[in-house]
Structure 1
Amino acid sequence: MGTIVAFENISLDGVTQDPTAEEGVSRDDWRAGLGPADREAWYKMITDDALGAQAVLLGRRSYEYFAARYPSRTGALADRLNSLPKFVVSTALADPDWTNSTVLAGDVVDSVAALKRTVPGEMRVYASTRLMHTLVEHDLVDELRLVVFPLVMGVGERLFGRTSNHKQMRLVDVRTVGDSLTHLTYQRVRGAERPAE
C-alpha cells in the first residue's frame, strides 16, 4: 500500500499559489527575499525529499509547469524528477510527453485510491493546490510537509479549501531550514473525524 505525501511551499497565511511569480499573483519570487544560504538549504531539502519519493502525483497545471522545465535541466533534483513515474490528474491532457508520465483517467478519487493500492512507497504531490483540495476532502493524503515562507500574501489560492468534515492532523516534526524557513510535517490521524454540522 502506497502513501501520499504532499510537499508544499506555503506563506504564513496559507497561500500556495504562484511562489515563482510567473502567474502574476505574486510580485516577486518567494525565494527572492531569502539569503544565499537559505536558498541553498531550501534546494537541498527539496532534492532530498524528491530522492525519497517513488512516484509523483500532479494536477494538470502543475504537471505542465514541471514538464516545461525539468526535461532540459540537469542536477540531482532534475534527474530524480525526470526518472520518477509521474501520474497526472487531468481530463484535458491526452498525451503527456514528459518521460514516465501517465494520465489518470476517470474519477479522481477512484483513480488515486487505486494508485495508492498499486504503487508501493511514497507518492509526492507537488504544487497542486486544487488537486490537494480533493485529496484532503476524501482522506487520501497521509502526510503533509509544509515549507513556511516568512511572508503574508493576502491573495492567492490557499492550500486548504472547504471540507465537509474535521480533518485531524498530528505534528510529527518541526525544523528550521536555513535562517528563514520552517519545515512542518503532519500526519493524518485516522478515525478522529467529527460529524458534519
Structure 2
Amino acid sequence: MGQLAVVNFVSLDGVMQSVLSADEDREGGFDRGGWVLPYVDEVVERFMSEATAGAGALLLGRRTYEIFAATWPYAHMKDPAVAAMNAMPKYVASRTLSDLTWANSTLLGAELAEEVGRIKAASEAETVVLGSGGLLGTLMEHDLVDEYRLLVFPLVLGSGKQLFAAGKSPRRLMLTSTRSTPSGVLINTYRRCTEG
C-alpha cells in the first residue's frame, strides 16, 4: 500500500495561508501573502523538487488545484519536478469543480475518505498533498496522513489559516528527521504514531 505524505510550508505559528503570492488566498482579510519567497534557498528548492518529482500522484484541494492548473502546464518542461507534476495522476477534492483542465486529473466524489483510502491501497507509490488546507482537515480527521514533511519558516505571522486548526482531535507524531537550510528554514519530517 502506498503512503500519503503532506508536504507544506508553515510559519512558526503554524500559518500555511497564501505562501507564494499576495493574491493566492486573501480569505479572512489575510494580507501577508508571499511570505515564503525571501527564505527560498537552494536547499528548499531541491527538497521541494525531489518531493514533487518523487511522488506517484498528487492529491489537491480545489483552490490549490486551480492555482497549479493555471501555472504548471505552461512551466518549463525541462525541470524534472514540472515534468513529473504534469505527467502524474492528480486527484482533486472539490464540491464545486466539474471540469478539470490539467492533464491526468480526476475529480473525487463525495465519499472522500473512502476514495483516498482506495487510492492508497491501489498504489505502491507515494501520494503527496501540497497546500490544500481545507482538504487536510478531512484527511487528518480520518487519520489518512502517514507522514508530514513540514518546512518551518523563521517568522511569526500572527494570523491566517493554520495547518493544525483549533478543534481538531489530538495527534501524536514522531519526529524522524530534521535539517536546517542556509536561510533558517527547518525541514522536519514526522510520522504518524500508531500507538498510544
Three-state SS of the structure 2 residue aligned to 1:178 is: coil
Q: Which residue of 1 aligns with 2:46?
A: 44
Q: Which residue of 2 aligns with 1:119?
A: 123
Paired amino acid for 2:175: L
| TM-score when normalising by structure 2 | 0.90
The structure 2 residue matched to 1:66, chosen from 68, 79, 82, is: 68
Q: Which residue of 2 aligns with 1:53?
A: 55
The structure 1 residue matched to 2:134, chosen from 108, 117, 130, is: 130
| TM-score when normalising by structure 1 | 0.90
**Contact 1:19–1:26 (8 Å) recurs in 2:** no
**Contact 1:172–1:186 (8 Å) recurs in 2:** yes
The structure 1 residue matched to 2:110, chosen from 92, 102, 106, is: 106
**Contact 1:90–1:103 (8 Å) recurs in 2:** yes
Distance in 2 of aligned mates of 1:16 and 1:164:
16
Q: What are the Cα deviations for residues 118-164 of structure 1, in whole angstroms up to 9, with x where unaligned? A: 12221000001111111111100000000011111111100012456
Cα pair distance change 1:48/1:154, threshold 3 Å? same
Q: What is the deviation of 1:180?
A: 1.5
Query: Identity, % of aligned pairs?
Result: 37
Q: Which residue of 2 aligns with 1:27?
A: 32
**Contact 1:55–1:86 (8 Å) recurs in 2:** yes
Distance in 2 of aligned mates of 1:107 and 1:96:
19
Distance in 2 of aligned mates of 1:89 and 1:28:
24
Distance in 2 of aligned mates of 1:102 and 1:182:
33
Paired amino acid for 1:27: R
Paired amino acid for 1:70: W
Three-state SS of the structure 2 residue aligned to 1:19 is: coil
Stretches (4+) displaced over 6 A: none
**Contact 2:174–2:192 (8 Å) recurs in 1:** yes
Q: Which residue of 1 aligns with 2:98?
A: 94
Paired amino acid for 1:118: A
Three-state SS of the structure 2 residue aligned to 1:30 is: coil
Paired amino acid for 1:53: A
Q: Which residue of 2 aligns with 1:195?
A: none
2:137 pairs with 1:156: no
Distance in 2 of aligned mates of 1:26 and 1:108:
31
Q: What are the Cα deviations for residues 18-53 of structure 1, in whole angstroms up to 9, with x where unaligned? A: 11222342435223433xxx5232111100111221
Distance in 2 of aligned mates of 1:80 and 1:70:
10
**Contact 2:12–2:156 (8 Å) recurs in 1:** yes
Structure 1: tracts of 5 or more residues without a match: 193-197
Q: Which residue of 2 aligns with 1:83?
A: 87
Structure 2: tracts of 5 or more residues without a match: none
Distance in 2 of aligned mates of 1:163 and 1:29:
27
Distance in 2 of aligned mates of 1:116 and 1:57:
11
Distance in 2 of aligned mates of 1:16 and 1:171:
20
2:184 pairs with 1:180: yes
Paired amino acid for 1:30: W
